[in-house]
Structure formats: C-alpha cells, structure tokens
C-alpha cells in the first residue's frame, strides 16, 4: 500500500468497502455484523479528521493572514474570495433549476410509490421539520452575523459547527499581527510555524489510515442501504442531481480553471482527487479540509497565504454541490406533490439557497435542514422531504465531493490573480 499514491489507496478502500457491504447483505446477520464490527472504524476515522480541523484552521489561517503585508491586501483577498464563492453558488442553484425543469423527474414517481415513501419516512421527516422549525424560530434576519462573533473562543472551539466563529477569531488575531511591529510578534510567528508543521505531520499520520477508514464507511453504507426498489423509484431524481453535479464540476469548473486559473483542468482534477475521494467517503467538507489543503499546496502549488485563507472559509460557506441539490430537490418535491410553481417562486429558490448556505455552519445537519427552509420559502409542504430520504446519503457523498472541488477551484483562481497582480507590481517597480 505504501508504494501506491493516496488516491489509488482510497479507491481500493472504496471498492473493497462496496464489495464487502454487498456481501453482508447476502447472509443473515450480515447487516448487524457491518454495523457492529465494521462501521465503528469508519466513525473513528471521521472523528480523527474532525479532531484536527479546528487546530488546522486556527494555525493556518492566523499564519496565512499574518504573512500578508497589510490589511488592504487582506481586504482585496477577502472580497475576491467571497465574490467568487457567491457567484459559483448562484450558478450551481440555477443549473439545478434548469435541469429539474427540463427533465421533470417528479413525473416518474407513481402515486402508490409516493404514498409508500411518505409513510415509510414519516418519523424521520417530522424530526427534521421540527428541528428546522426550532432553529428558524430563534433566528432573526441578522442572526447569521450574530453567530459569527463568539462570546467565548474556548467554548466556540469545542464544536466543529462553530467554524465561522473560529474563522472570525483567527482573522482578528491575524489582522492584529499585521498591524503590530514585527519585533513584537516574531516569537509568536515562530510558534505558529512550529504548530503548522506539527498539524500537517498529524494529517500525514492520519492519511495512513484513510484507505481503511473509507473501506469501513462504504461497507456500512451499503449494508444499511434501503431496498433497491426505492432507488429505482427515485432513479430520475438521483440522475438529475448527479447530472447537474457532473456538469458543474467537469463543465463549469473546468471553464473557470482554464480561463481564469490558467491551468489545465485535467491536471487540476488529478491533483485534488484524494480530497474528492475523501469528501465522497466522509460527506464532510470540514473533515476533508486537511487533505484539501495538502493537495492545494503540494499538488497545485497554491501559496500558503492563499490556501490558508480561502479553503477554511470555503469549507464553511461554499456549498455549490449542496445548493444545486437544494434546487433540484425543491422543484422535484413540488412536482411530486402537485405544486405549480411560478417563475418568481423558482427564482426565490436561488436567493434562499444561497443565503442559507452562508449560515449553514451554524445549523446542525445542514443539507436537509436547509431544504426545509427552501421549501417553506416557496410555499411547498416540508412533508415532501420524506420522498428523498432514501437516496439522500449517497447524493450527500457526491455533493460533498463537489463542494471540496469548488473550494480548490476558487483557491486556484485567487492564487492566479494574486500572482498576476504581484508580477505587475514588480514590473512597475
């Protein structure tokens, strides 16, 4: 295994996991065996990745910001980063709406199947609706801004759901370091350099266990999967989402990378393949962040001050794959439930999904909960989310891989723009 590149090791783990998962479904007690004796190793691997996420963000973000020359350089970097993330999010939701209106997967679900699925997932559906309603009732229009500022940084650092607060604090420390004389912060910068090296070495150690972790995750997923008949019934919906994700990544992202990042798309996708595979296996952008940063630096040559700023923020607010899914799922549910949406309602999906994605870090279980908010914004009963529970997990894996790809794509473009401006400044000097 040591002689193979990381992405090949992960691919072998994914393949073996699928095969073992299928084998477990073929004999009595196989499902219980997978849950009791295989799944825990996948959970341990995800916990390891999440364990290092907050230390990595704190160390790398403070270091990256403090390495900038002045605050104006940081503000320019921030405006470009947020602008690109918002742009790609709007494109993703719009693409999802175009595809779901063209394919109309809701027309492929029979009435009997719809009733069976609504009944089968009624309990889980109601739990998610109640959870989203409780969050919505306590969130005013500016609650997203309130959630960004922590009242206690040590309390904020106790949960990965507080990533925006961690980022805010890290940016604040980095800005303060820029504004202070170098002699006063030199010792602390040395501590940051050492901390960054230690964190990256921990990531290297964790990656040794990546193939085994994804094996356990996939084996348990296949063993726990619902009946194949459910997947057949939802085939066109899943096809629409997957088609949209493929077009977004290998079509739109490729154009951005080629024209704005000035990079060969095939080189880009080969470079980030380990991060994509890990995102697919873990369904968590935050858990995949250490590998995304490693791929960006070692395989794509992105400068540390860029990747340490762009990627942690992207893992928190950039959810292109999730937002595309929001658009498709919302219209699909409306089609199945017999709602006739106006153009204004469909356009509101774009705005709602975009805004919800920015504040998603403060909302546990972001995917489905975001969808409840989107459905309510267009007047569609959230009860319809029961229709997509059966295939939500595999689609969640795919859209997380897309989210990770979008983060890396924006980092490539921001890095290219920064290099171009730097070269122009040198020529003028």
State pLDDT tens for residues 268-287. 999 999 999 999 988 888 78
Nearest CA to 252 among 68, 99, 415, 39? Answer: 99
Q: Whole-angstrom Cα distance, residue 241 to residue 322?
A: 10
Checking if the pLDDT of 35 tops 70, the result is yes
Q: Could you tell me the end-to-end alpha-carbon distance of the chain, in angstroms, rounded to an integer? A: 51
| Max avg pLDDT among 24-33, 139-148, 159-168, 349-358 | 24-33
Nearest CA to 208 among 291, 271, 268? Answer: 291
Answer for the pair 245, 398: CB distance below 8 angstroms, yes or no.
yes
Average pLDDT along the chain: 83
Checking if the pLDDT of 194 tops 60, the result is yes
pLDDT at residue 31, rounded to an integer: 86
The CB density around residue 365, as the number of other CB atoms within 10 Å, is: 13
Choice among 120-134, 174-188, 298-312 with the minimum mean pLDDT: 120-134
Q: What is the pLDDT of residues 46-84, one digit of tens each?
A: 888 888 888 888 888 888 888 877 778 788 888 999 999
Burial of 393-418, coded b for 16+ CB within 10 Å and e otherwise, reads: ebbbbbbbbbbbbbbbbbbbbbbbbb
């Amino acid at each position: 295994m040591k002689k193979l590149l990381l992405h090949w090791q992960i691919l072998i783990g994914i393949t073996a996991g699928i095969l073992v998962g299928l084998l477990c479904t073929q004999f009595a007690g196989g499902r219980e065996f997978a849950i009791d004796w295989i799944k825990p190793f996948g959970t341990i691997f995800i916990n390891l990745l999440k364990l290092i996420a907050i230390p990595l963000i704190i160390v790398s973000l403070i270091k990256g910001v403090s390495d900038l020359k002045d605050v104006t350089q940081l503000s320019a970097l921030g405006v470009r980063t947020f602008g690109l993330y918002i742009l790609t999010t709007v494109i993703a939701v719009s693409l999802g709406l175009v595809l779901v209106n063209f394919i109309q997967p809701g027309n492929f679900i029979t009435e009997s199947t719809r009733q069976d699925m609504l009944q089968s997932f009624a309990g889980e559906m109601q739990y998610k609706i109640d959870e989203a309603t409780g969050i919505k009732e306590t969130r005013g229009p500016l609650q997203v801004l309130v959630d960004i500022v922590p009242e206690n940084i040590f309390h904020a650092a106790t949960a990965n759901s507080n990533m925006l607060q961690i980022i805010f604090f890290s940016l604040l420390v980095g800005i303060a370091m820029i504004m202070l004389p170098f002699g006063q912060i030199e010792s602390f910068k040395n501590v940051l350099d050492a901390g960054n090296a230690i964190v990256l070495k921990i990531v290297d150690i964790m990656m040794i266990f990546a193939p085994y972790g994804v094996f356990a995750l996939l084996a348990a997923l296949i063993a726990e999967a619902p009946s194949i008949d459910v997947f057949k019934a939802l085939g066109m919906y899943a096809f629409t989402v997957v088609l949209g994700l493929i077009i977004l990544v290998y079509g739109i992202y490729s154009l951005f990378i080629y024209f704005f990042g000035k990079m060969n798309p095939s080189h880009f996708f080969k470079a980030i393949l380990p991060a994509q595979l890990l995102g697919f296996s873990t369904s968590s952008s935050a858990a995949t962040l250490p590998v995304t940063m490693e791929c960006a630096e070692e395989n794509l040559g992105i400068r540390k001050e860029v990747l340490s700023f762009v990627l942690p923020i992207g893992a928190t607010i950039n959810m292109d794959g999730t937002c595309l899914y929001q658009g498709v799922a919302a219209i699909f549910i409306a089609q199945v439930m017999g709602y006739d949406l106006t153009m204004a309602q469909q356009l509101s999906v774009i705005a709602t999904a975009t805004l919800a994605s920015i504040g998603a870090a403060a909302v546990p279980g972001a995917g489905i909960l975001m969808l409840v908010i989107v459905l309510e914004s267009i007047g569609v009963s959230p009860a319809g989310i029961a229709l997509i529970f059966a295939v939500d997990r595999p689609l969640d894996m795919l859209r997380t891989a897309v989210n990770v790809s979008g983060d890396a794509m924006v980092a490539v473009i921001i890095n290219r723009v920064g290099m171009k401006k730097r070269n122009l400044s040198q020529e003028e000097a």
